[in-house]
Amino acid sequence: MRLADAHVLVTGASSGIGAALAHALAGEGARLTLTGRDRERLAAVAAATGASTVVCDLATQAGELAARAGHVDVLVNNAGVGWAGPFVEMPAGSAERLLAVNLAAPIALTRLLLPGMLAAGRGHVVFVASIAGAVGVAREAVYSATKAGLTVFAEGLRHELHGTPGVGVSVLLPGVVDTPFFVRRGAPYPRRRPAPIPPERVARAVVAAIRHGRPESYVPGWLRLPARLRGAAPGPFRLLARRFG
């Protein structure tokens, strides 16, 4: 799909992957609508990319966002929140918020904006999931579940749209990305390896997925191996996961 002059809606665009995406898409000539909760950061990204903005909380305002965005050619469901720690210590309401932002909001936005793409015979829906959704991560059980749900929703939708000309569905499964996400989830990334990758690398993968219609992309690519191992040999995978984390 050509991105030049396409109207692209990017959620979670005030920092991290979303901000990097805004710059990458602007470089492709796309017309951008960016959304996020941090008004000042969002305005700074918009000023640098020529985008319009909608400040909102996806947990409660997905419908309002879709109405204000109008027709879009590409929807990039990037916004996400996390929480790290023992599941039994998760504060009341935290699980519900992760489910609302990470899973329910992307589904709602897709339901509202996909009909316009189908009517136009042109469009693309992108879901930024996580390797956590493919393998499950200790102390991030709910986050892993939301990203797994997002990946499976994308797969089901892709099957449903098979044979529909001009409309594609892509899912991205990045690993550890160097963004403020870990600070916001309440626990820094504790490991030396794998080292966090820059958000610009994920942004480039998203652009490539849209341009070439790639259904599934792991960033970095080697993450496909543990995901495939879990599916093909779950017993050995669990032993390795318990030993190496």
Handedness of CA 86, 91, 96, 99 (dihedral sign): negative
What whole-number distance in Å separates Cα of residue 145 and Cα of residue 29? 35
Look up residue 161 and give its DSSP letter: T
Record the tokens describing residue 29, joined without a space.
């000539």
Q: How far is CA 171 from CA 76, 142, 153, 192, 226, in A?
A: 10, 19, 10, 27, 17
CA distance 6 to 16: 22
Q: Provide the 10 A C-beta neighbour count for residue 134.
A: 22
Rounded to the nearest angstrom, the gap between the alpha carbon of residue 208 and the centroid of all alpha carbons in its chain is 15
Residue of 79, 129, 136, 143 marked active site = 143
Active site annotation includes 218? no
Q: Which two tokens stand for residue 41?
A: 């950061």
Alpha helix (H) residue ranges in the chain = 16-27, 39-49, 58-69, 94-99, 105-120, 132-135, 141-160, 181-184, 199-212, 224-232, 234-244
Q: Specify which residues 63 forms β-bridges with.
A: none
Shortest CA distance to 6 belongs to which of 125, 128, 103, 145?
Answer: 125
The catalytic residue positions are: 143
